[in-house]
Structure formats: C-alpha cells, structure tokens
Amino acid sequence: MRVTVNHLVFDVDVAGPEEGETVLLLHGFPHSRESWTDIAPLLNRAGLRTVAPDQRGYSPGARPEAVEAYALPELAADALGILDALGVGAAHVAGHDWGAIVGWYLAARFPERVRSLTAAGFPHLDAYRHALRVDAEQRLHSGYIATLSAEDAADSFLADGAAGLEGWYRQSGEGVLSEEQIERYMRTHTRPGTLQAALKWYRAGTLQNDNGPLGPVTVPTTHIWSENDPAVGLFAAESAADHVTGEYRFVRLRGVSHWQPQQVPEKVAAEILDRVRRA
C-alpha cells in the first residue's frame, strides 16, 4: 500500500491481524522493506501486525532532492507519520543498520510512541560516536563511511553494469546472502534515482557529526550485534548498554555478518517476539 506523509508517498507493506500489536520494521542500507520478507511472516503468525516501509529515498514518491532533507529528525518524522496515518499511537520498533539508528532516535526522543525497541547491527548513536573518538578499531570499521558519503559514490557503484554494487552485497563472504536476495536488492537499487537518494542518508552527516547527544533510552530494548560485523566493533556494541535505562538485553551472535535479517531471520524474529512479549 501507499501512505502519504507531508506530501511524500511511501510504499509500505502492512500484514498480520489488524487487532495485533504493531511492529514497525525499519530497513537499512543498501536494502529495502524486503529486508523483512523472511521475518514479517513469522511475526504475523505469532499474532503481530507488521508495518514495513521503504524509507525516505527508497520510495520513489518520497525522494526529496536536498541532502539536508535526509537528516535523522526527518527520517524519524517519516516513521511517526506513517504510524499516524495508520492510526497507530505506539508501536514496537525493530530496525536494522540505518533502520536501527532511526529506531534508537525514536526510542530516545519519542518514548511515548515506542513500546519496545529491537535494534540489529547498529548501537545507540551516542555509543557509536564515542567509539569513533576513542576506539581505533571502530575508526577502522567505519572507514566505509567516506566511500558512501562521496558525491560520486552512486556513479561508482553503478558503473560497469553495477559491478561495484554487486560486490558490496558479496563482500561479507560466500553464503551470507543468497543469490535470490542479491538479485532482490540489485533490482531495487539499480532503478533510476534509488541509490543516489539512499546514499544521501550518509551525505547528511548523521554518523560523522556529533551534534549533541541523543540521550538515554528508557523503553525496553534489545540490541543484536554480530561478531563478524565489519561496520561495528565490540567496544561500540557493548557501550550501547550505557545509554539505556530501561530493561536491556544484549545479543551477541557468533559466525554471523552485519546482515542479520537476511542471514538469520529466524533468530531476529525470535528476539523481536521475545522483546514484544516482555515489554
């Protein structure tokens, strides 16, 4: 379905029983709402209603031109606007990668709208920024940000039949993403304008600029981190606990990449369900 928020039109998958508790599923880069293809049905069968949007830049009808339009407050406002349009006052939130960042922001700044948070891959933004300052390992892990923030990044990824983009999907190692998953995301991000807009999330500077603390998260929270995650180191992941005052669970996955929803969907779904039931 399509949901209009402040003149932007979002493509949104809504599934599950209407009377079920709502779980807002927020994808990361370079994915789409299809990140949740293997997870949403598991949540639906457990009685939950899932709402999975293509976020700003990924939905063709929600693609502002200005880089500053992709700042974190704008992304969070989209999520709240989608909930408002669907008549949802408060939802459980699950996010991966950038979706986790939006989830942390919502939980910190709008706790009345977030019943629980399950954040996969990316820690609390204050923990991440602190790690960038003091942890050499995290600075090494974060080297990719400069590549993705470059103005010509989309052109580089899409050159030679999008060889660079395909390489990005395959770089985590053989068997992490299936051929069907790679084809799924390649199809989405090679559509005109999609990758250019998606990369504006990086160009907006949210990760690099320490423009004031996000603040503590008071809602029940689960953070899922993988030991083989090339983007987030252990110091940043463990430091997230320092920024959560509500009930907190840290899940450390062995032998799993940064792409948890694609590689271990049953595990991610189980953690979301556990968090929802204990909220």
Q: Which pLDDT band, with edges at 50, 70 and 90, does 172 fall under?
A: low
161 exposure class (CB count in 10 Å sphere: 0-12, 13-18, 19+): exposed
Share of the chain above pLDDT 70, in %: 98
Tens digits of residue pLDDT in 34-83:
999 999 999 999 999 999 999 999 999 999 999 999 999 999 999 999 99
pLDDT of residue 173: 62
Residue 211 has pLDDT above 80, yes or no: no
Of 78, 63, 73, residue with least CA distance to 24 = 78
- Residue 70 is given by DSSP the state G
Cβ atoms within 10 Å of 197's Cβ, excluding its own = 21
Distance CA 279, CA 275 (A): 6
Residue with tokens 């999330």: 201
At the fourth CATH level, the homologous superfamily of domain 2-278 is Alpha/Beta hydrolase fold, catalytic domain (3.40.50.1820)
Residue 208 has pLDDT above 70, yes or no: yes
Strand partners for 11: 2
Whole-structure pTM value: 0.97
Tens digits of residue pLDDT in 117-131:
999 999 999 999 999
DSSP 3-state of 133? helix
Distance CA 79, CA 111 (A): 13
